[in-house]
């Protein structure tokens, strides 16, 4: 392990660095490895046309092959697990009960489900485009794979991650790239994230069946996106694959314009979702699949109109990616409950799976606790809190409290709100270094840690539990950040997109 990290990456002189930085910038512009810049004054870019290279590493990072292959091998099982959890509404409601009491966002999501359930769901098929995130953990027995979180909504960067793999593959053949034993006759593993994500959406489109409108309408897939979306090029890589390879029309719709441009005919009990492009009002489409690249955080719900829009989509016949229930299944509290063996929920959900495979999946769990009993003791003691991270129970990353900040933070909020948080033992990745090119052109080098994401897609029938129509693993994401940085968003500038060199 030491030799893979201690003398890596190779050093760069100023001429090599200047050459590689310019090559990366040019390659990124030519191949769509781009993001919209943030914090640009309106008078500088009044029409929103500027784009810049996504933050990337100059070198692919070493990653243990055994951990990488384990993560790949478990993804379809993880897909199945979260489909099973979503199907068990009674179990999910019990797990969510305490969180619903104290978290307004989770409570509102649950109310959306209840409202649609009361009316009756028009669509029983559910689609998941997932990403399971991990780090290699340095323990007494060597390196092992530990899961950070499981993403059930808006699992991003599949498009740009494939670009980074191609970039590093090309750089390895560049005459200005310094040599290193790890790079000799080695290249990043194949990255099929775009193909996998697009194939999942195409499976939903096909499974939707014929138009439910009268007269029949052409069908499409609808990407629902955030206002001011910066990560547009990542999404375009997937929509291009759908249009070019699968020959499926794809439209992008702002979250704020859902109610303006989509409708559900009141006279049609099947409740098809009809999208009318504002630039082609005489050419409506029926939406087979709604792919949400928004609605995952409270900030996406600016007003009651946004909650009305989410309910509007949920009650339609379009296949949702994800449904509200599947989004809720991604809450940290589910991850924490699965990590417990008393009772063994994991074994219950995967009862038909070989015991050894279940244990391989269980081994990826880091110790996690609610803030009762043992978790409370660990969180309030500065000495033990130093080895933990406090995470919000809801789905998605960010807003974490780290190490010795945990005791004071908990004492600063009412104890009744502690149910909103989960305590997780910190994962200790191996020491590593790399060089990163930020979106603003700054080059940084130093100690880093990397996080691996594995993509998977699954389509199942919520009504007929266990009926899986599509289940696939494919593609990866590596995000690398400075070791002393806690948060890890790429679009927010904390992390860089990275490639992988297996060892």
Q: What is the pLDDT of residue 465?
A: 79
Residues 463 and 380 in one domain: no
User: What residues form the annotated binding site for Mg(2+)?
Assistant: 149, 151, 395
Residues 416 and 271 in one domain: no
Which residue do the tokens 């870019």 mark?
45
Query: Annotated catalytic, 163?
Result: no
Residue 432 lies in a domain: no
Active-site residue identified among 131, 219, 419, 420? 131
Residues 407 and 293 in one domain: no
Residues 410 and 271 in one domain: no
Residues 294 and 404 in one domain: no
Closest CA to 335 of 326, 324, 348, 346: 346
- Coil, strand, or helix at residue 191? coil
Query: Annotated catalytic, 316?
Result: no
Residues 318 and 332 in one domain: yes
Query: Annotated catalytic, 107?
Result: no
Active-site residue identified among 36, 310, 320, 391? 391
Active-site residue identified among 53, 128, 146, 149? 149
Which residue do the tokens 């500065």 mark?
382
Q: What is the pLDDT of residue 45?
A: 86
Query: Annotated catalytic, 281?
Result: no
Active-site residue identified among 80, 419, 420, 479? 479
User: What residues form the annotated binding site for substrate?
Assistant: 131, 153-156, 229-231, 235, 293-296, 479, 490-491
Number of domain units in the chain: 2
Residues 275 and 138 in one domain: yes
Closest CA to 456 of 166, 137, 83: 83
Residues 86 and 146 in one domain: yes
Query: Annotated catalytic, 149?
Result: yes
Active-site residue identified among 395, 419, 472, 473? 395
Radius of gyration of the chain (CA): 23
Q: What is the pLDDT of residue 469?
A: 98
CB 122 within 8 A of CB 456: no
Closest CA to 122 of 203, 207, 212, 200: 212
Residue 113 lies in a domain: yes
Task: Give the whole-angstrom CA distance, residue 187 versus residue 450.
Answer: 18
Task: Give the whole-angstrom CA distance, residue 299 versus residue 218.
Answer: 33
Residues 136 and 65 in one domain: yes
Residue 81 lies in a domain: yes
Residue 248 lies in a domain: yes
CATH code assigned at 381: 3.30.1490.50
Residues 274 and 393 in one domain: no
Query: What one-character-per-residue DSSP string does 96-152 give?
Result: HHHHHHH-HHHHHHHHHHHHHHHH--S--EEEEEEEEEEEEEEETTEEEEEEEEEE-
- Give residue 497's domain range: 14-365+445-502
Closest CA to 434 of 478, 476, 481, 477: 481
Q: Which of 383, 398, 426 is the last residue of a domain?
A: 426
Residue 406 lies in a domain: yes
User: What residues form the annotated binding site?
Assistant: 131, 149, 151, 153-156, 229-231, 235, 293-296, 332, 391-400, 402, 424-427, 451, 479, 481, 487, 490-491
Q: What confidence tens digit (pLDDT) does each residue in 259-305 have?
A: 999 999 999 999 999 999 999 999 999 999 999 999 999 999 999 99
CB 488 within 8 A of CB 152: no
Residue 1 lies in a domain: no
Residue 398 lies in a domain: yes
Q: Mind listing the pLDDT tens digit of every residue in the chain (503 residues)?
A: 456 788 999 999 999 999 999 999 999 999 999 999 877 778 888 888 899 999 999 999 999 999 999 999 999 999 999 999 999 999 999 999 989 999 999 999 999 999 999 999 999 999 999 999 999 999 888 999 999 999 999 999 999 999 999 999 999 988 889 999 999 888 899 999 999 999 999 999 999 999 999 999 999 999 999 998 999 999 999 999 999 999 999 999 999 999 999 999 999 999 999 999 999 999 999 999 999 999 999 999 999 999 999 999 999 999 999 999 999 999 999 999 999 888 999 999 999 999 999 999 999 999 999 998 899 999 999 999 999 999 998 766 668 999 999 999 999 999 999 999 999 999 999 999 999 999 999 999 999 999 999 999 999 999 987 699 999 999 999 999 998 876 545 544 579 999 999 99
Query: Annotated catalytic, 395?
Result: yes
Residues 309 and 372 in one domain: no
Q: What is the pLDDT of residue 489?
A: 55
- How far does the chain reach from its first CA to its final CA, in angstroms? 9
Residue 9 lies in a domain: no
Q: How far, CA to CA in Å, does 33 sit from each of 15, 181, 361, 452, 475?
A: 24, 28, 33, 19, 17
Q: What is the pLDDT of residue 1?
A: 45
Q: Is the peptide bond before 215 cis (omega within 30 degrees of 0)?
A: yes
Q: Specify burial of residue 293 (Cβ count, 10 A radius: 0-12, 13-18, 19+).
A: buried
Residues 339 and 393 in one domain: no
Q: What is the pLDDT of residue 487?
A: 53
Query: Annotated catalytic, 131?
Result: yes
């Amino acid at each position: 392990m030491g030799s893979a990290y201690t003398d890596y990456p190779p050093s760069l002189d100023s001429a090599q660095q200047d050459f590689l930085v310019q090559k990366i910038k040019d390659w990124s512009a030519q191949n769509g490895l781009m993001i919209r810049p943030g914090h640009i004054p309106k008078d500088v870019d009044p029409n929103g046309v500027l784009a810049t290279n996504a933050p990337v590493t100059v070198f692919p990072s070493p990653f243990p092959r055994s951990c990488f292959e384990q993560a790949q091998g478990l993804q379809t099982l993880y897909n199945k697990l979260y489909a099973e959890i979503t199907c068990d509404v009674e179990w999910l409601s019990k797990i969510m009960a305490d969180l619903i009491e104290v978290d307004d966002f989770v409570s509102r999501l649950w109310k959306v489900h209840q409202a649609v359930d009361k009316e009756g769901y028009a669509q029983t098929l559910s689609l998941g485009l997932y990403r399971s995130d991990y780090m290699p953990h340095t323990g007494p027995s060597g390196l092992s794979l530990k899961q950070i979180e499981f993403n059930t909504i808006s699992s991003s960067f599949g498009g740009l991650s494939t670009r980074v793999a191609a970039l590093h593959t090309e750089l390895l053949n560049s005459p200005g790239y310094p040599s290193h034993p790890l790079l000799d006759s080695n290249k990043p593993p194949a990255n099929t994230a775009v193909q996998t994500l697009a194939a999942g959406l195409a499976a939903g489109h096909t499974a939707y069946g014929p138009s439910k409108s009268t007269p029949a309408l052409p069908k499409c897939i609808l990407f629902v996106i955030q206002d001011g979306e910066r990560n547009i090029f990542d999404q375009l890589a997937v929509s291009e694959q759908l249009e070019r390879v699968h020959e499926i029309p794809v439209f992008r719709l702002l979250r704020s314009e859902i109610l303006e441009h989509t409708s559900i005919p009141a006279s049609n009990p099947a409740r098809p979702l009809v999208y009318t492009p504002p630039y082609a009002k005489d050419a409506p489409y029926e939406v087979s699949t709604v792919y949400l690249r928004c609605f995952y955080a409270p900030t996406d719900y600016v007003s009651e109109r946004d909650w009305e829009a989410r309910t509007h989509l949920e009650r339609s016949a379009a296949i949702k990616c994800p449904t509200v229930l599947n989004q809720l299944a991604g809450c940290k509290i589910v991850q924490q409950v699965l990590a417990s063996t008393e009772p063994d929920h994991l074994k219950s959900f995967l009862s038909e799976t070989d015991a050894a495979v279940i244990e391989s999946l269980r081994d990826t769990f880091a110790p996690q606790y609610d803030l009762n009993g043992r978790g409370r003791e660990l969180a309030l003691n500065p000495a033990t809190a130093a080895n933990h991270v406090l995470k919000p129970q809801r789905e998605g990353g960010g807003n974490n409290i780290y190490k010795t900040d945990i005791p004071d933070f908990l004492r600063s909020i009412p104890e009744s709100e502690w149910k909103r948080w989960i305590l997780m033992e910190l994962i200790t990745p191996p020491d590593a270094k790399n060089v990163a090119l930020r979106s603003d052109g700054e080059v940084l080098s130093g100690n880093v840690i990397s996080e691996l994401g594995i993509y998977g897609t699954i389509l199942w029938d919520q009504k007929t539990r266990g009926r899986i129509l599509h289940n696939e693993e494919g593609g990866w994401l590596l995000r690398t950040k400075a070791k002393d940085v806690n948060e890890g968003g790429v679009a927010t500038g904390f992390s860089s997109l990275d490639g992988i060199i297996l060892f």
